[in-house]
Amino acid sequence: MKPKLRLGTRGSKLALWQANWVKTALEARWNGLVVELSIIRTTGDKVLDTPLSKMGAEGHGKGLKGLFTRELDEALLDGRIDIAVHSMKDVPGELPAGIGIAAVPEREDPRDAFVSNGVRLAELPAGSVIGTSSLRRQVQLKHQYSHLTLVPLRGNVDTRLRTLEAGEFDGIVLAVAGLKRLGYTARITEVLECDVMVPAIGQGALAVVCRDQDPDTHARVSPLDHSPARTAITAERSLLRALGGSCQVPIGGLAKLQDAHLTIQGVVGSLDGSKLVTRQIQGPQADAATLGARLALELLEGGGREILGGIGIDGTSR
């Protein structure tokens, strides 16, 4: 096996935390292995003044798929790096040919967090300004809290927290996982349960990817795989593929495994928040992929097809 692995990562504080976690785990598992980090900027890192949902329509890069993964995958395929670490929620439903997910490490809390200066979400008065970059979060908040004003918010975790501290927002919504990994658990005002906010597909999980035709590297990385997390992610990503989801589509999904039994829920919402289609199904863990696809069908038949059909490439109504 190779004595050294080159690990590609984005340069944000959170991405580096994730990359260093994988580096430490691999070096602890394989005596003598050296893992070197290679920082690569992605399209999503370079363009910070445009909402994620609109970047494909405005000609940035090659569309919305892989905004935070594409350049890393290209470096992997041309041999500049051996592995890459992605936030699973950023990984498109279909990976580029020649790349596979070698490991899904144990998942962090997949839920969303509301962060404010102490006021809980349900206590906010009409007109309060909430920042979030996600259409998924926006439509679910609009559905339950139509009196709030939703404003797009880009930037890394620290940048978003600073905008809150500066008084630009009354609250912001971030992933629990990112806040915990960066040591900001105390900043969480409340964790949003799934009856309020269904998480993004893959949220809280990592994807360690490598070339399909690199069995040595795959063997190095595969011990980091966590079977329950892999099962849940398999179901969620099957749902993602069946719905054709990306940054401009307001969908969410979360699978939970208990005693070889898998429960998966999903949501599709209209841009104005007036319609929210939610479904939940259960089945054996061995049928994870099938369950995800079946849930997608139920969501589409329950009104999701009409909702998604009315959303354009720029994340606005057609």
Helix %, strand %, coil % of the chain (to 5):
35, 25, 40
Angle between helices 288-299 and 227-243 (to 10 degrees): 30
Q: Shortest CA distance to 44 belongs to which of 35, 54, 29?
A: 54
Distance CA 181, CA 301 (A): 38
- Residue 5 parent element (H or E): strand 4-9
Comparing CA positions, the residue from 260, 265, 214 lying closest to residue 239 is 265
φ, ψ for residue 200 (rounded to 5)?
-70, 150
Q: Are 130 and 150 in contact (CB under 8 A)?
A: yes
Q: Give the catalytic positions in this structure.
A: 90
218 in Cβ contact with 99 (< 8 Å): no
Within 8 A by CB and 6+ apart from 165, the residues are: none
Q: CA torsion sign, 116 to 117 to 121 to 126?
A: negative
For residue 35, what are the β-bridge partners?
5
In angstroms, rounded to a whole number, what is the distance separating the alpha carbons of residues 279 and 143?
A: 16
- Sole residue written with tokens 């795959």: 218
The answer to whether the beta carbons of residues 38 and 6 sit under 8 Å apart is yes
* Cα 267 to Cα 250: distance, rounded to the nearest angstrom: 8
